[in-house]
């Protein structure tokens, strides 16, 4: 898909803005605090119905305004056009696709957005929740059956944890079965996804880090030599003592190894950034290969942190992948040599006003 027009109202210091982006590369420049990240935040909100900067979406609404609105006209892969929009007042979220009220998941399918920002490298060393979210976003876009199974698994887990807390043991075996059934399915989706992602990631790591000695190792969240239902039964005393379920896909994780050593402990900060860049872009690449549903890539303030060679590599890669990309930097020069990039657009942001250059 391609965003043809984007309208933003009351997102942080952007009171009202309308842009017609290029289908390929869009470079967004502006001084510190001009509103560049707010523009990317608006696009992220449109795709994911949440912010990447705060858990409290109300903080993204401009001061003194009751609600934010982000809307767009987009062209799908098959050429058809859709109007999408989201309105958030801090309590309620309204989503519209072609004049119909829809769910967050519908929006996420229509506008897959991948975000890369200076804190993305923490994917390697932050808590496993981040890595599960990374995997699940990829699988959600990769396989339409994932969401239903994931929801059933989540519900079973919630129910089981509630029973553990209230020590109601009578119903627990029914929920063990449900949790094991859908948990095993969620685990299968994740295993398949890692397997599909691995070769794409290896290629991407080869391009950005000049190495193929990279390995993703997945941990299901329980000892897979045993069936999940058996593990749940064996864990029951421990689970009752602590009031939550210790084993299952909600404890899954994956680790990244370089030359058989944990990447987060041995690679330099710069290499870790490139590794995470490769991970995130390999998700996009896989999505493009299999779903033919081009992803919109948002890159906030990253180019300034890359050396000249890696900036050039990144631009070259982005110019050739057929995705719509939005990148921010304070100066146009921060993006590096733009000679190889064609048909790109530049937008300048000043005190929340966005103008094409
Ligand atoms: N809810 C809000 N309403 C109005 N303005 C806000 C709100 N939240 C933050 N701001 C202000 O919006 C401005 C734009 O912030 P933003 O992070 O988008 O700037 P930026 O151009 O990305 O800056 P930098 O280059 O320093 O990262 C800042 O001055 C910030 O204080």
pLDDT for the residue 289: 84
Residue with tokens 């932050």, as numbered in its chain: 126
Residue whose CA is closest, atom 26 of ligand 1? 32
pLDDT for the residue 303: 79
Query: How far, in Å, from the CA of 351 to the mean position of ligand 1?
Result: 9
Biggest alpha carbon–alpha carbon distance for the chain: 69
Using left for φ > 0, alpha for ψ between -120 and 50, and beta otherwise, residue 115 falls in: beta
Query: How far, in Å, from the CA of 13 to the mean position of ligand 1?
Result: 6
Q: Where does CATH 1.20.1050.90 sit in the chain?
A: 119-291
Ligand 1 mutation target, pool 8, 33, 63, most atoms within 8 A of CB? 33
The set of protein residues with a Cβ atom below 6 angstroms from ligand 1 is 12-13, 30, 32-38, 59, 61-63, 301, 330
pLDDT for the residue 118: 86
Ligand 1 mutation target, pool 38, 117, 304, 352, most atoms within 8 A of CB? 38
Given pLDDT bands bounded at 50, 70 and 90, which one contains residue 77? confident
36 assigned ligand-binding residue: yes
Indicate the CATH number for domain 119-291. 1.20.1050.90
Ligand 1 atom with the smallest distance to the CA of 300 is 22
Q: Closest Cα to residue 297, out of 26, 30, 52, 55?
A: 26
Given pLDDT bands bounded at 50, 70 and 90, which one contains residue 27? very high
**Residue 291 reports pLDDT greater than 80:** no
**Residue 131 reports pLDDT greater than 90:** yes
Mean pLDDT of 11-29: 97
User: Strand order of the sheet with strand 324-329?
Assistant: 113-116, 296-299, 324-329, 25-29, 345-350, 353-356
SS3 248: coil
Query: How far, in Å, from the CA of 16 to the mean position of ligand 1?
Result: 14
Flag the least confident range among 214-223, 287-296, 348-357.
Answer: 287-296
Q: Which overall architecture, per CATH, does domain 1-112+293-357 show?
A: 3-Layer(aba) Sandwich (3.40)
């Amino acid at each position: 898909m391609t965003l043809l027009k984007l309208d933003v109202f009351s997102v942080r210091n952007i009171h009202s803005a309308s842009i017609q982006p290029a289908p390929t590369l869009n470079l967004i420049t502006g001084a510190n605090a001009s509103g560049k990240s707010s523009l990317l935040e608006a696009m992220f909100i449109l795709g994911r119905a949440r912010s990447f900067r705060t858990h409290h979406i109300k903080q993204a609404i401009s001061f003194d305004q009751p609600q934010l609105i982000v809307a767009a006209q987009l062209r799908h892969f098959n050429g058809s056009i859709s109007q999408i929009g989201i309105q958030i007042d801090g309590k309620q979220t309204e989503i519209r696709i072609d004049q119909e009220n829809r769910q967050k998941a519908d929006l996420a399918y229509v506008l897959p957005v991948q975000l890369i920002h200076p804190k993305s490298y923490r994917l390697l060393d932050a808590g496993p929740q981040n890595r599960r979210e990374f995997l699940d976003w990829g699988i959600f876009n990769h396989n339409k059956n994932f969401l239903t199974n994931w929801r059933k698994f989540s519900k079973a887990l919630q129910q089981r944890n509630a029973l553990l807390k209230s020590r109601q043991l009578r119903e627990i075996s029914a929920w063990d079965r449900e949790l094991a059934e859908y948990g095993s399915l969620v685990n299968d989706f994740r295993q398949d996804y890692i397997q599909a992602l691995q070769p794409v990631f290896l290629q991407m790591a080869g391009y950005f880090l000049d190495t193929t000695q990279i390995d993703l190792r997945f941990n299901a969240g329980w000892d897979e030599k045993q069936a999940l239902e058996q593990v749940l039964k064996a864990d029951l005393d421990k689970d009752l003592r602590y009031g939550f379920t210790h084993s299952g896909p909600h404890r899954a994780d994956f680790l990244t190894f370089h030359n058989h050593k944990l990447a987060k402990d041995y690679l330099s900060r710069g290499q870790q950034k490139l590794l995470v860049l490769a991970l995130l872009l390999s998700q996009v690449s896989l999505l493009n290969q299999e779903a033919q549903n081009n992803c919109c890539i948002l890159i906030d303030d990253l180019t300034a942190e890359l050396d000249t060679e890696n900036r050039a590599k990144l631009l070259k890669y982005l110019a050739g992948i057929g995705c719509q990309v939005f990148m921010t930097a304070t100066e146009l020069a921060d993006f590096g040599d733009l000679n190889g990039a064609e048909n790109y657009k530049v937008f300048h942001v000043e005190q929340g006003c966005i103008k094409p250059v």
